[in-house]
Amino acid sequence: MLSLQVSVCIICKAAIDIHSPDICVSCQNALATIPNPCPRCGLSLPQGVMAEKCGNCRTMNWRVERCVALCCYDRTVSLLVQKFKYAAGLTEGYHLSQLLARKITHAYHPTELPQAIIPVPLHWRRSIERGFNQSNEIARVLSHRLNITYAPRLAKRLRATSPQAQLNIQARRRNVKGAFVCRAPLPHKIAIVDDVVTTGSTISALANCLANGGAQHIHLWCLGRRDAV
How many residues bind Zn ion (CB under 5 A)? The answer is 11
By CB under 5 A, residue 57 contacts Zn ion: yes
Quick one: which segment of 35-43, 119-127, 157-165, 205-213 binds Zn ion (CB under 5 A)? 35-43
Q: What is the rounded CA–CA span in Å between residue 8 and residue 212?
A: 46
Q: Which of 54, 68, 71, 151 binds Zn ion (CB under 5 A)?
A: 54
Q: Which of 21, 31, 37, 40 binds Zn ion (CB under 5 A)?
A: 40
By CB under 5 A, residue 8 contacts Zn ion: no
By CB under 5 A, residue 11 contacts Zn ion: yes
Nearer to Zn ion (CB atom), residue 79 or residue 128: 79
Angle between helices 90-107 and 75-86 (to 10 degrees): 120
Q: Please give the C-alpha separations between residue 139 and each of 24, 26, 47, in angstroms, as whole numbers.
A: 23, 25, 32
By CB under 5 A, residue 24 contacts Zn ion: yes
Taken in order 28, 93, 64, 102, the sign of the CA dihedral is negative
By CB under 5 A, residue 117 contacts Zn ion: no
Q: Which of 31, 34, 37, 41 binds Zn ion (CB under 5 A)?
A: 41
Quick one: which segment of 39-47, 98-106, 202-210, 211-219 binds Zn ion (CB under 5 A)? 39-47
Closest CA to 121 of 85, 146, 157, 174: 157
Report in angstroms how near the CB of residue 160 gets to Zn ion at its nearest: 29
- How many CA atoms within 13 Å lie on the side-chain side of 40? 19
By CB under 5 A, residue 60 contacts Zn ion: no
By CB under 5 A, residue 34 contacts Zn ion: no
Report in angstroms how near the CB of residue 81 gets to Zn ion at its nearest: 16
By CB under 5 A, residue 10 contacts Zn ion: no
Report in angstroms how near the CB of residue 9 gets to Zn ion at its nearest: 3
- 59-65 long-range contacts (CB < 8 A, ≥24 apart) are 60/200, 60/204, 61/204, 62/200, 62/204, 62/207, 63/204, 63/207, 63/208, 63/210, 63/211, 63/218, 64/40, 64/192, 64/203, 64/204, 64/207, 64/218, 64/219, 64/220, 65/40, 65/217, 65/218, 65/219
Q: Which of 38, 101, 179, 186 binds Zn ion (CB under 5 A)?
A: 38
Write out the residues near Zn ion by the rule CB under 5 A.
9, 11-12, 24, 27, 38, 40-41, 54, 56-57
